[in-house]
Structure 1
Amino acid sequence: MGASSTSPISLAAVPSEAERILALQRAAVAEHGAPSLAERILALDALLGLIKKHRQSLVETVSLDFGTRAAAETELGELMPLVAGIKHVRRHLGRWMKPQRRRPGLAFRPASARVAYQPLGVVGVMAPWNYPLFLTLGPLIDALAAGNRVMLKPSELTPRTAALLKNLLAERFEEDQVAVVTGGPDVAAQFSTLDFDHLLFTGSSKVGRQVMAAAAAHLTPVTLELGGKSPVLVCRDYPLKKAARTIAIGKFFNAGQTCVAPDYALVPTDLADAFADAVIEAAAELYPAIAGNADYTSIISGRHYQRLSGMIEEARGGGARVVQHTDPGAAAERKIGPTVLVRAREDSAALREEIFGPILPIVTYDDLDHAIRLINARPKPLALYCFSTDSAKVEGVLQRTRSGGATINGTLLHVTQADLPFGGVGESGMGAYHGREGFLRLSHARATLELGRFNMSDRIAAPYGKLTRAVTRLLLGK
C-alpha cells in the first residue's frame, strides 16, 4: 500500500535545489566524461556572446543593486577583464590541454611518461557582491576551460544581478553544465557543505574560515580569495601629486569597495599632511560632486554605510585629522565622499579592519626599513603597491615583503591582466586563478607511465638476487 497523502514528509529527505543540481551535474560527468577542445571553445563562445549581447542590461542591473554605480566602472572593472580573459583562454587552451611528455627513470625503461590535465568534475563558485559579474563569471571561464561543470552562488546583496545571471546563463547552458543557485546566507551556508570536486570562494577572511571548515567535511579542495589590508607605499623619490592622483583613482573606484583597493598609505612622516591634501584635491577633480554624480558609486547597503561612517567618526574622536571631499546630499544616496585620515590611532577600526570603502588612512614612516617592518607586522595582504622611480628600491620592497600580487606605480591593474594569476597568500587567501593558472588550478594533473614491450622491471622482484643488486649498485653507487 502506498503512503497516505497525509503522512508527514521529512524535510531532510527532500533535496534542496543545490543538491538536486549537484546530483544532475555529477551524473553528467559520469555519462559524458571530459569535453573536447571544441566543446570547451563552444562554451566559452556562448559566455562571450552572452556578455556582449546583454552588456547594457548587465550594467544597468548592477547599478540598481548598488543604488548608483557608474556604467564605466562596470564596463572597465568587470566586463572588459571578462572579455579579455575569454579571448586569452580561447587562444591558448589547445596548447594547455596537450599532454606533457616526461622522462621515466633509467631503471624503468623502455617506457614512456606523460601528464594529462583532466577536469576535476563539478566546481562550486561562491561570489561576493562588490564585483558581481567579474567575480562570478571569471571563475566560470577557468572552470569551463578546464572542462568542468559549474554551480554558481552569487551574493544575496546583489539580488537583481544574481537573478539576471541565473536567467541569462539558463538560456545559454543546460543545467547539467552551468547553473546558478540564488538565496540568502542559509543557502550559501548549505552550498559550502556540498560535495564539490573544488570550491572557489571570494569574500572576507572570517567567512572564508567558515567555508574552509565546511568543505573539510568532504575533503573538498578550496581556492580562497580573501582580502586584508593592502598597503600602498609612497617612496620619497616619487612625485607626490602624481602618486596622490593615481592612488585616488584606484582607491575611490567603486567607492573603495574593491578587495585589492589600497587599504592604507605608507608616507614619509613629513609629507603626510601634504599627501592627504593632494589625494583629496585629486578626488575633487575626479568627482566634482558626490551627490547626484552618476560616476560616484553608492555604498552597497545601509549596514555597510553605518560601519564606514562609524569608522570615520571614531578616528575623528581619537584625534585624527579627517580630510574629506563630500557634499550635504551624499548621505541620502548612501554615498560617503573620498576621505583621508591622518594620524589615526593604531587601535582604531580604520587601522585594524579591512575598510572596503572610500576611506584611506595614512601611516607614517621614517625610512624604507621602517616602512617594510610596518608592512611585515601585519598579515600578508592580497595586494601591495609601491610608488618609486628607483628600480633597486622597488626590487628591495618586493623581495622583503609578501603579498598575493603587486602593481608598481599604479593600483588594481595586475588583477585585470589575463596572463597573470590572481590569488592571495596566508590570511589573504590560497590558490590562484585566471588564465593558465586558472586552468591548472581547476584541472587534475594525472600522471601516466606506460611500460614498453621489452621492459624488464618485473624482474626486479622477490626473491631479490643478482639483478636487483646490480640495479641498486648502478643507481645508488657502491
Structure 2
Amino acid sequence: MAEEVAAAVGELRASFRAGRTRPAEWRAAQLRAIMRMAEEREGDICDALQADLAKPRMESYLHEISLAKAACKFTLKGLKNWMKPEKVPASVTTFPSTAQIVPEPLGVVLVISAWNYPFLLSIEPVIGAIAAGNTVVLKPSDIAPATSALFAKLLPEYVDNSCIKVVEGGVPETTALLEQKWDKIFYTGSGAVGRIVMAAAAKHLTPVSLELGGKCPVVVDSNVDLHTAIKRLAVGKWGCNSGQACIAPDYIITTKSFSPELVDSLKRVLKRFYGEDPLQSEDLSRIVNSNHFRRLTNLIEDKKVAQKIVYGGQTNEKQLKIAPTVLVDVPLDTELMTSEIFGPFLPIVTVDKIEESIEFINARSKPLAAYLFTKDKKLQDEFVSSVSAGGMLVNDVALHLANPYLPFGGVGESGMGSYHGKFSFDCFTHKKAVLIRGFGGEAVARYPPYTAEKQKILRGLINGSLFALILALLGFPREKH
C-alpha cells in the first residue's frame, strides 16, 4: 500500500510540476465535468447515500447534490477573476515600484473526507483544490463504503486522472497517505483524528485545514415565533442525518419558565414530521453503523440520563434507527453533556434568565456553529458580539453554510481554516507577494558607509518624508565613485 500511495503522489507531483493544472481552461473543464457527474449520476449518488445512511432522496439532493452543483457554478463564475493578480499600493521606501499579490496553487493536496455527508464533504474541498490549480488525492470515508466506491468508479470517468485521484480504504490506507509529504491537508471529521492528522502534517511542516465539530448550542428566547422556530430547529437537527451532522444543534438553552411550552411545541412538530412511530418513518435517516448505534444508546442508558427523557428514546438495533429524543436538565457531568452527541438526542438546559446562556456557552469549548432564536434585538447584538463560534445563525439552523459569500469553518477545538465559495479557492492558494522595480530611482543613501547624512535621509524615508525621498532620488549625499 505504501508503495502504491507513493507512486500515486509521485505521478500527481509530476503533473503539477509540468504545469498541467495551472491554466484556467483546465480548471474550468474539471469543474464542469464534476457538475456533469452530479447531474448525470444523481440516481447513483442517491442510491449510495441510501445504502450508507438510509438518507431520504430529498435530503440527498438538497443537502449534498444540489450544494455540490452550486459550488461548481459559483466557482466557474468567479474563477478567472480569482486567479488574477491583485494590484496593491507600493510604499515610499520602495519608490519607484509596483506591487501585486499573485495567487498560486500550493501543489499536491490531500482531502480526507467524512462519512455523514459523504458526497458533499468529499467533493466540495476537491472543487476548491482544483479551482486553485492543485493536483489532489481524495480519501473518502470507509464508514460510507458505497459512496466511497462510487467516487472511485466515477471520478476517473469524468476528471483528469493524472491530476485527481481517489484512494479508498481505512486506517492503513490513511496512515500510508499521511506518511507522504503534502502541500496541504484538508481533513473533515473528529477532533481526535484531527490531532493525528495535525501531528503527521507537522513532520513535513504541511499546512492543514481541520473541519471538526463540537457541541453546537441553540438559545431559544421566549420572545420568539415559537412555531416557526421549532420547525426550523427540528429539521436542522433531525432532518440532517438524524443529528449526525457537525452543525446540527447539540443542545438547547432556554429559561425554566419557558421550557414546558418549548417541549410541548417540539413534541407536536416531531409527531407531524415523523409520525407516531418515527422508527418507521422513511424521512428519518438511520444511524450509520452498529458501532455508532451502540455509542449513542449507551448515552441514554445511563440512569442519570434516561430519567430525563421527555419524548422519544425508542431504538431499533436491527434497522439502526433511533427516534428523535428530547431530554430536559440532564446532569452536566454526563457524557451526553460533555461530548459531541452526533445523533438524534436533543437535551434542553434551563437557566433563570436567557442572558445566562451566553456565559454558559463561553465557559465551554468554542462550537462550530451557535444558534439563537429571538425577536429581541438587544439580545441578538449581545449574542453576536459575545459568543465565539465558527459560524452563527439567528432565527434558523444550518442555513448559513448555503451562502457561498460566507466562510465555513471552526475556531479553537471546532477547527481551523475555512472554505466555501471563494474561501475554498483561498484555502488551497498561496498568496505570493511580488514587488517589481526598474533600475532607475537609485537612492545612494541605502548603501554603506552609513554617514550621518545618509542616516538622516533613511530615517526620513522610513517615516514617509517626501523631502527625504526627493533627496534620496537626487543622490544626496553625493556618492563618490
The TM tier, using the shorter chain, reads over 0.9
Which one is further off, 431-440 or 420-429? 431-440
Query: Relative to 1, partners in 2 of residues 1:350 and 1:326: Cα closer, same or farther, differing over 3 Å?
Result: closer
Over the aligned positions, Cα root-mean-square deviation in angstroms equals 1.8
> What SS does structure 1 have at the residue aligned with 2:252?
strand
- Describe the superposition over 1:329-358 as per-residue Cα deviations: whole angstroms up to 9, x where unpaired: x44311000001112111111101100001
Which one is further off, 282-291 or 136-145? 282-291
Which residue matches 1:356?
A: 342
Q: For the residues of structure 2 that align with 1:363 and 1:398, how far apart are their CA atoms?
A: 20
Which residue matches 2:471?
A: none
Which residue matches 1:430?
A: 416
> What SS does structure 1 have at the residue aligned with 2:205?
coil
Query: Relative to 1, partners in 2 of residues 1:257 and 1:130: Cα closer, same or farther, differing over 3 Å?
Result: same
> What SS does structure 2 have at the residue aligned with 1:211?
helix
> What SS does structure 1 have at the residue aligned with 2:279?
coil
- Tell me how far 1:473 sits from its aligned partner: 2.8
- Tell me how far 1:116 sits from its aligned partner: 0.5
Which residue matches 2:476?
A: none
1:49-198 alignment runs, 5 A limit: 49-66=36-53, 68-198=54-184
Which residue matches 2:472?
A: none
Q: For the residues of structure 2 that align with 1:292 and 1:241, how far apart are their CA atoms?
A: 25
Aligned equivalent of 1:277, options 252, 261, 264? 264
Aligned equivalent of 1:391, options 359, 364, 377? 377
Q: For the residues of structure 2 that align with 1:141 and 1:40, how far apart are their CA atoms?
A: 9
1:10-25 alignment runs, 5 A limit: 15-25=2-12
Q: For the residues of structure 2 that align with 1:272 and 1:171, how far apart are their CA atoms?
A: 54
- Tell me how far 1:175 sits from its aligned partner: 2.5
The amino acid across from 1:103 in the alignment is P
Aligned equivalent of 2:368, options 372, 378, 382? 382
Q: For the residues of structure 1 that align with 2:380 and 2:412, how far apart are their CA atoms?
A: 22
Query: Relative to 1, partners in 2 of residues 1:325 and 1:281: Cα closer, same or farther, differing over 3 Å?
Result: farther
- Tell me how far 1:33 sits from its aligned partner: 5.7
Structure 2: gaps spanning 5 or more residues: 469-481
Q: For the residues of structure 1 that align with 2:121 and 2:367, how far apart are their CA atoms?
A: 19
- Describe the superposition over 1:306-345 as per-residue Cα deviations: whole angstroms up to 9, x where unpaired: 111111121x5456431334767x4431100000111211
- Describe the superposition over 1:79-126 as per-residue Cα deviations: whole angstroms up to 9, x where unpaired: 111111111111111111110111222122111111110000111000
- Tell me how far 1:15 sits from its aligned partner: 4.1
Q: Conserved in 2, the CA contact under 8 Å of 1:284 and 1:325?
A: no
Q: Conserved in 1, the CA contact under 8 Å of 2:312 and 2:326?
A: no
For the pair 1:442 / 2:439, whether they are aligned, the reply is no
1:193-204 alignment runs, 5 A limit: 193-204=179-190
Identity of aligned pairs, percent? Answer: 35
> What SS does structure 2 have at the residue aligned with 1:16?
helix
Which residue matches 1:297?
A: 285
- Tell me how far 1:151 sits from its aligned partner: 0.4
Query: Relative to 1, partners in 2 of residues 1:475 and 1:351: Cα closer, same or farther, differing over 3 Å?
Result: same
Instruction: Count residues in correspondence.
Output: 462
The amino acid across from 1:161 in the alignment is T
The amino acid across from 1:407 in the alignment is L
For the pair 1:324 / 2:329, whether they are aligned, the reply is no
> What SS does structure 2 have at the residue aligned with 1:44?
helix
> What SS does structure 2 have at the residue aligned with 1:265?
strand
Aligned equivalent of 1:307, options 275, 287, 295? 295
When normalised by structure 1's length, the TM-score is 0.93
Aligned equivalent of 1:268, options 251, 255, 262? 255
> What SS does structure 2 have at the residue aligned with 1:147?
coil
Which residue matches 2:401?
A: 415
For the pair 1:258 / 2:245, whether they are aligned, the reply is yes
Which one is further off, 136-145 or 26-35? 26-35
The amino acid across from 2:262 in the alignment is F
Structure 1: gaps spanning 5 or more residues: 1-13
- Tell me how far 1:16 sits from its aligned partner: 3.0
Which one is further off, 171-180 or 28-37? 28-37
Q: For the residues of structure 1 that align with 2:443 and 2:73, how far apart are their CA atoms?
A: 46
- Tell me how far 1:243 sits from its aligned partner: 2.1
Which residue matches 1:347?
A: 333
Q: Conserved in 2, the CA contact under 8 Å of 1:108 and 1:457?
A: no
